[in-house]
Structure 1
Amino acid sequence: MPLAQHIHNFLFNVYPYVCLAVFLMGSLARFDRDQYTWKSDSSQMLRARQLRWGSNLFHIGILFLLVGHTIGLLTPHALYGWLISAPQKQLLAIVSGGVAGLVCFIGLTILLHRRITDPRIRLTSHRTDLAILVILWVQLVLGLVTLPFSWGHRADASAMLILADWAQGIVTFQPDAAPLQSIDWPFKVHMVLGMTIFLLFPFSRLVHVWSGLASIAYLFRPYQLVRARRLNLPPAAQQPRAHQGEGA
């Protein structure tokens, strides 16, 4: 078997499980050992307007992309085929994903510009903070690059169906990298870098995403009951004190 075939099989049959294992176990280990670092460092006092615009655009875009990728890749075609055809779904993914990706790209570019050009922010930034932002920026660029290729496959949605079958095979522990050989190179690079982000997740500021998910569970927690407790004070302490100056 050629070396290229071995690399292809490793990247799309084995590497996903390596990344998922590090993602889950690494996150748990960091929470257990380094809870103080389980946060996203704040610099909101510096260039607050630029931070507000960049952060809002980035988070709106990235959340839409994460939900869209998860639902789009992991939902079997049989569950939505009665409602929308595969070509229609691909067209919907191109338009909505393109808009969300562009919004996210603009927001992340603002955040990168703010962190790189301001000496005070750059001085308080960890190297991993800047590195993960750069990696995310490159990943967004690759995602936008795939849009013209997806547009070319919109008639039969062949690329989307191949990618969905591969992702669902990973989840069901039946990976099959062979069909991915016909996929255009931007998709492959985008997928490998996406898996690498999961690999780097526990070692970066991205772990604060878990706290965001935990806050959703906070909304559904039961009410905390607070009952008044009556103190057993001696009779003398229960009598109101006379104000100074009052008297006969």
Structure 2
Amino acid sequence: MNYLNTLLFGVFPYIALAVFLIGCWTRYDHGQFTWRAGSSQMLRKKNMRMASVMFHVGIIVIFFGHLVGLLTPHWAYEPFMTPGTKQILAITVGGIAGVFCLIGGAMLFFRRITDPRIRASSTVGDVLIIALLTAQVALGLLTILPTLGHLDGSTMLLFSSWAQGIFTFDARAASYIAEVHWIYKTHIFLGLLIFLIFPFTRLVHMFSVPLEYFTRNAQVVRKRA
């Protein structure tokens, strides 16, 4: 069991991150025409806007919440809040964002597999990634249940130690979460799996923020004479 834990949470994170970084760089360098969101809004707008807004707002809050929550050292927030307070804040904000994201993701998934026009234009990867993201959000909400049993922040400190240990090449990183509930481990593994397949899906459009729109010259559009 210790070997499997080390393999999944001590070795696999580096494999996933390496594929993520190299894959994204290679795809951007050699396949820029595939670097797009592949939106299906033009095919069918019904229920699209609400579902898309709920999903994207929820997942953005969740992503940055995880990023800040896991990678911020304990000493950086210790003067302002206790680990228990941080954990309650994460449950509250993450729970609300998670519900929004889950509802939006479920609507998008249902729309993609039931609408004939959208299903016909969808790839296996399109269906797989929205299914994985929705399942991941559902697992994240399920982790709230065991977390409510210990609100002292001890579990959050373990996950922070693991995440920071991965980025600092701490050989003991996997051992920090060896004894946590299986729901947490499943949630972490699925998250790493999403990083692994990220470069091969439409998710790469996350890096295509149209900042040039704020600085480019105005475009003059006239009717044809």
TM-score range, shorter chain: over 0.9
Normalising by structure 1, what TM-score? 0.84
Instruction: Give the one of 169, 183, 190 matched to 1:186.
Output: 183
1:99-150 C-alpha deviation (Å, 9 max, x unpaired): 0000000000110111111011100001100011111111111101101111
Q: Name 1:166's counterpart in structure 2.
A: 162
- The structure with the largest alpha-carbon Rg is 1
Number of the residue aligned with 1:49:
46
1:21-100 mapped onto 2 (5 Å cutoff): 21-100=18-97
Corresponding letter in the other structure for 1:157: G
Tell me the CA shift for residue 40 of structure 1: 1.1
1:144 aligns to 2:146 (yes or no): no
**1:202-232: per-residue Cα shift (whole Å, max 9, x none)?**
01110111113xx35x4786x77xxxxxxxx
Among residues 194, 198, 207, which one is paired with 1:197 in the alignment? 194
* Aligned equivalents of 1:93, 1:219: Cα separation in 2: 34
Counterpart contact for 2:161–2:176, Cα < 8 Å? no
- Cα-Cα RMSD: 1.6
Q: Please give the alpha-carbon distance, in whole angstroms, between the structure 2 residues aligned to 1:219 and 1:185.
A: 45
After TM superposition, the structure 1 = structure 2 runs for residues 95-244 of structure 1, keeping only pairs within 5 Å, are: 95-154=92-151, 156-175=152-171, 176-212=173-209, 215-216=210-211, 218=212
- Does the CA contact (< 8 Å) of 1:47 and 1:114 recur in 2? no
Deviation at 1:153, TM superposition (A): 1.5
The higher-RCO structure (CA 8 Å, 6+ apart) is: 2
**How many Å separate the matches in 1 of 2:133 and 2:205?**
15
2:222 match: none
Code of the aligned partner of 2:163: A
Q: Unmatched 5+ residue regions in structure 1? A: 225-248
Return the alpha-carbon distance in structure 2 between the equivalents of residues 133 and 42 of structure 1: 13
After TM superposition, the score normalised by the length of structure 2 is 0.92
Tell me by how many angstroms 1:181 deviates: 1.6
| 1:23–1:201 Cα contact (<8 Å) kept | yes
Structure 1 residues 220, 44: closer, same or farther in 2, change over 3 A? closer
Shift of 1:27: 0.3
Aligned-pair CA distance for 1:179: 2.3
Q: Output the CA distance in 2 between the equivalents of 1:60 and 1:179.
A: 31
Equivalent residue pairs, number: 217
Which residue does 1:237 correspond to in 2? none
Looking at structure 2, the residues matched to 183 and 220 of structure 1 have their Cα atoms a distance apart, in angstroms, of 46
Alignment gaps of 5+ in structure 2: 218-225
Amino acid in the other structure paired with 1:26? G
The answer on whether the counterparts of 2:55 and 2:105 sit within 8 Å (CA) in structure 1 is yes
Distance 2:87 2:213 in 1: 34
What is the alpha-carbon distance in structure 2 between the residues aligned to residue 41 and residue 181 of structure 1? 39
Structure 1 partner of 2:223: none
